[in-house]
Chain A
C-alpha cells in the first residue's frame, strides 16, 4: 500500500472512450495490498478491459467474499455498485442480485480460500446454474491475510516460505468449473496483461457463467523458490494454448494468418473473438479434449493458460428459468401485484 493517494494528474495524451471516460475514471481507491501483489495487476487489467469495452461504470455490480482478493473491488471501478459478502457466499448473493436485475454486468471477485475452501459449494452451483457473470478467481495458493498457510489450490509438493512441503492434493478450479458446466473457462497470469485483458473482455461478452482462474503471486508469502505460484515459476511453466484478439466487429479483423492458425468465434452480443492458436491441435469448443489436455500438462507441472473452453451455444440462468425480461425495479405495481383474481387463477391451475 501507499500512504498518499494516487495523484489526480494524468498523462496529457490520456484519451476518453466512446462513453466519455478515461481509463483513470475506472480506477477505485488506492490499494492497501502489499507492494507487488498480483491482485493489483488484476485490478488494473479489469480497469483496462472495462475502459476498452466502453462500459458505463454505473451498469456494473462488483461482488466479492472475504480475503485479499475480495478486498480488490474497492480498488477498481469506484463508481460502480459493490457488495462485500460473507466469506465464500459471493456466488449466492450475486445469483440473487442477477435474478433481481439481469441488466447489470456482474463481476464476481474471489480468491482461492474464498472459492476453493469455504465457498467451494457456492462456486460449483453458480457454475452449474449458468449465472451470467464474470467469475474472477485470484489464485495465489496461500492464505495471505493469515500469514501464508497453504490454501486448497496449493500444488502437492510445493514448498511454503519456511520450506515445508504441501501434503494435500490441490483443487483444480479450472477442471472443477468444466465439470460443473461453466460455458466459458480460462486461465491466465497476473503478470501477463496482454493475455489477461482480452480474456476478461471476452468473458464480459459471454452469456452464462464465465470463469477465469488467474494465478496471482503473493509477494509476501508465496514468491519463493519451491512455490508453484511464484512469478518465476509461472513464467517458466506457462503453456498458453491460444492468444485472444477481442474484436468489436468482424470488419475490424485485418491481420492475416495462415489458414487453420486461427479460430473466429462470434459472441452473443455480436462481438468476435479471434483465437490465435499456440497449440495447433487444441480445440477450445471440445470440452472432453480440453479436460484431457489440461490434466496431461498439469501432470507435467505446466500451467496451462488461455481460453480453455468455450460453448458457442451457451445459455444463462434466466433463459433456463424463463424469467421475466425486465429487472424487478422496472416492473410496475400492476405487474408485481396482479391481484386476488390472478392468485385464485394460479391456485386453481395447481389443484
Chain B
C-alpha cells in the first residue's frame, strides 16, 4: 500500500464521519465540545455559520450525520443497542440555551455593491443565498407566495414538531441583513422577473406539487380526499382545523408521518398509515416512524390502494390489494398480489402523501432555460447554474425533493456561484475549504479536549405526555435535553476531529501504542496489497468504507497501519508514545462561503 497523504484535506475530513456526511459539512464535534463546555452561544454560531437554521434543523433535520456517526460502530458488541450520538438534538440544545445572539450576527452593509439578486421562494435554499450574499453588499429581493418567510419549513412541518417562534427567529436573522422580502407575491412569470433587470436570479421554489392517485372513486369522493402537503399547509395557516374520526394516510415518507400525527391532533381517532411496500423499505426516517407509532398510529404494509369507496358522493372507505415482496435472481424486488381477497378499510378522510413533484408552470419554455425529460432544469451539478447563465437553482427545485440540510448546502454553493458570476470569475473554480490542524497537547498527559471516553448509552429526549401532546397541534412534542443530560450526551461524542497524526521519523517501534489501543486499531506489519494488509491487522479491518492510515519510513522497513474504523480518539497512543511520534491534532474544516475568501474579491479589485 502507498503511504497515506494526510496533507489532502479529504483524508482527515473523512475521518470526521458526521461532518463528511453532512451536506453542509458542519463541524459537528467542534460545536458538541462547546455544548459540553457550556458555550451554547458559541456552539450556535458555529452551526449558524454552516447550516443557517440550527434551531429548525435541531428539530427537523434528516440527520445524515447520525447514521454515519462512529459511536454507532464503536458500540457494536459493547452495548445492547448501538446508537450514534444524538447530534441533531444537541444542535437544538445550542439553539435553546444560546441566549441573545443578535449582536453576533453580521450587519447589513453600509454600502451596496450595486448588484441586484432575486430569490424566488423564501425556503431554506433561497434564504441561505440571501444570508451569504446580503452582507457582501448585494441587493437581495426575496419573493414568496406566502405572507411569511420559511417556505416548506413554515407551511408543511407541523407546529408540534417546530414552533413558529423558532422559524420567525431564524428567518428574521436573515431578513434583518437588509434583505427585501416580498411576501405574498408569487412569481407567475420568469420572463417578467427577468425583465426587471436583476443581475442574477436564484430559483428556490421547492417541489410544490404533491402527487395524486388516480383511482376509481377519486372524483366522486373528492371532498374528503386531500393531497398531503397541501393539507398540511392549510393546517399550518389555520384554514383546516378538523379532520374526520377515521383517517387513512397513504404513503410511507416523512410527509405521511406529519399527516398522520397532525390528524391525530385535529379530531382523528382511528388514524392509520397504509403503505404499498414493506415497513422496512419506507422512506420515512426511522425516528419519525417511531414517533408516529408512539402516538398509537398503526402502519399497515404491503397494501396497494385499489379504489376509493363512496356512497352518494361521500367517502366511505378504501379497498386495497394484498401483495408480497418477491425477489428475482438479481435481488430486484417486485410486489406480487398474494391472491387473498382485497382488504377494505373504512374511513372519513384520506390524505395522499405518496411523493412530490417539481412544477415550473411559471417558467416560459422559450427563455433558453432547458429542462430534462423528468421536467427538472438542466444544471451544472456543482455550480447550480442553469442554461441561462444568470439563473441558478437550489433546494428541491434543483434535483427534486431532498431535505432542509441539502437545500442549505445548495444555497451556499449557489451563493458562491452568483458571487463569482457577478465578479467575473470562473464558476467552475470552487474555493477550497479552510483547514486548520493544531496539536491538542497541553502537558505530558493533558489534552485540550476531554479524552476520557464515556461509556453512557444514548440518552432519550423527554416528551410532552401523550394525552397533553395530542390535545393541540401547537404543543411541541419533544422537549429537548436539559443541560445536565445534554452534557452527558455531548460527552458520548468521540471527538473524531481530534486526529491521530503519526510521524514515522521519530517512531522507535516500541509497540506501546499497539499495546494500549483499546480498539486494536494499530499494527506494525510488512507492507502488501490492501486486501492482505487489511486481513492481517491486529483486528481485521473489514469495513472498506473506512480508510487505513498507512505510514512508511520506519527503521525496520515495516509500515504503520491504523484502521480508522472504530478509533475512539482517546489519545492513549499519543500518551504512551515515548517520542511524540503520535500526536493528537484537531482538524477543523470550515467550508468557504461566498465572500472574500471564495476568491471573488481579488478579481473584483482588479476590475475596479
> Is A3's CB within 8 Å of the partner chain B?
yes
Q: Is B455 an interface residue (CB 8 A)?
A: yes
Pair B74/A9 contact, Cβ less than 8 Å? yes
**Pairwise interchain contact A36-B510, C-beta atoms closer than 8 A:** yes
**Number of inter-chain CB pairs below 8 Å:** 105
Chain A residues whose C-beta falls within 8 Å of the C-beta of B239 in the assembled complex:
none
Check A219–B540 contact: CB distance below 8 A. no
Proximity string of chain A (23-48) to chain B, C-beta cutoff 8 Å, 1 when within and 0 when not: 01000000000111110110110000
Chain B, residue nearest A23 (CB): B520
Q: Which residue of B lies closest to A192 (CB)?
A: B511
Kindly state the separation between the CA atoms of A233 and B568 in the bound complex, as whole angstroms: 34
Is A329 among interface residues, defined by CB-CB distance under 8 A? no
Contact A7 B510 (CB under 8 A): no
Q: In the complex the two chains form, is A7's CB within 8 Å of B568's CB?
A: yes
Output the nearest chain B residue to A230 by Cβ-Cβ distance.
B508
**Contact: A223 with B508, CB < 8 Å?**
yes
Task: Kindly list chain A residues whose C-beta atoms are within 8 Å of the C-beta of B542.
Answer: 13
- Whether A11 contacts B453 in the complex (CB less than 8 A), given A35-B578, A38-B510, A41-B510, comes out as no
| A47 to chain B: closest residue by CB | B515
B73 contacts partner chain A, Cβ-Cβ < 8 Å: yes
List of B residues within 8 angstroms of A193 by Cβ: 511
Q: In angstroms, how far is the closest chain B Cβ from the Cβ of A29?
A: 13
Residues of chain B with a CB closer than 8 A to A24's CB: 518
Q: Which of B101-109, B189-197, B569-577 contacts A (4 or more CB under 8 A)?
A: B569-577
Q: A217 near B: Cβ within 8 Å?
A: yes
A9 and B518 contact, Cβ closer than 8 Å, known pairs A4-B452, A36-B508, A44-B511? yes
User: Are the CB atoms of B570 and A7 closer together than 8 Å?
Assistant: yes
Interface size band for B: 35 or more
Q: In the complex, which of the residues B512, B514, B566 contacts A35, with contact meaning CB atoms closer than 8 Å?
A: B512
Task: Judge whether A40 and B515 touch: CB under 8 Å.
Answer: yes
Return the chain A residue nearest B581 by Cβ. A36
Contact A35 B576 (CB under 8 A): yes
Given contacts A9-B568, A231-B508, contact A41 B455 (CB under 8 A): no
Interface string of A92-116 (1 = CB under 8 A from B): 0000000000000000000000000
Q: Does B2 contact A (CB under 8 A)?
A: no
Task: Knowing A8-B455, A41-B510 are in contact, say whether A1-B445 is a contact too (CB < 8 A).
Answer: yes
Does A191 sit within 8 A of B, measured CB to CB?
A: yes
B519 touches A (CB below 8 Å):
yes
Tell me the bound Cα distance from A8 to B572 in angstroms: 13
B380 interfacial by beta-carbon distance below 8 Å: no
Is A10's beta carbon under 8 Å from chain B? yes
Interface assignment of B555: CB less than 8 Å from any CB of chain A: yes
Q: In the complex, A21 Cα to B197 Cα: how many Å?
A: 75
Q: Which residue of B lies closest to A5 (CB)?
A: B452
In the complex, how many angstroms separate the beta carbon of B580 from the nearest chain A beta carbon? 9
Please determine whether B445 and A7 come into contact, CB atoms closer than 8 angstroms: no
Is A4 touching B572 in the complex (CB atoms < 8 A)?
yes
When chains A and B are docked, how far (Å) is the Cα of A219 from the Cα of B575?
Answer: 14
Q: Given that A217-B510, A232-B555 are contacting pairs, would A44 and B515 also be in contact in the complex, using a CB cutoff of 8 Å? A: yes
Q: Is the CB of A2 within 8 A of B575?
A: yes
Considering the complex, give the chain A residue whose CB is closest to the CB of B518.
Answer: A7
Known: A3-B445, A44-B511. Is A12-B78 also a contact (CB below 8 A)?
A: yes
Set of chain A residues within 8 Å of B446, measured between Cβ atoms: 3
Tell yes or no: A235 within 8 A of B by CB.
Answer: yes
- Determine whether B527 belongs to the interface, using a CB cutoff of 8 Å to chain A: no
- Whether A14 pairs with B570 at a CB distance below 8 angstroms is no
**B555 neighbours in A (Cβ, 8 Å):** 232, 235
B513 to chain A, nearest CB (A): 9
What's the nearest-Cβ distance from chain A to residue B565, in Å?
Answer: 9
Which A residues are in CB contact (< 8 Å) with B579? Answer: 36
When the two chains form their complex, are residues A34 and B509 in contact, meaning their CB atoms are under 8 A apart?
A: no
User: In the complex, given contacts A12-B76, A43-B515, A190-B511, what are 19 additional A-B residue pairs having Cβ atoms less than 8 angstroms apart?
Assistant: A2-B516, A2-B575, A3-B575, A4-B451, A7-B452, A7-B453, A7-B568, A8-B518, A9-B518, A10-B518, A10-B520, A14-B539, A36-B512, A37-B578, A40-B516, A40-B576, A219-B508, A231-B510, A235-B556
The 7 closest A-B CB pairs, nearest first, are A36-B578, A44-B515, A12-B76, A7-B453, A12-B77, A3-B445, A219-B578
22 sample A-B contacts, Cβ–Cβ < 8 Å, listed by A number: A2-B572, A4-B451, A4-B572, A7-B455, A7-B570, A9-B453, A10-B78, A11-B539, A13-B77, A13-B540, A24-B518, A35-B575, A35-B577, A35-B578, A37-B512, A41-B511, A43-B515, A44-B514, A191-B510, A223-B508, A231-B509, A232-B555
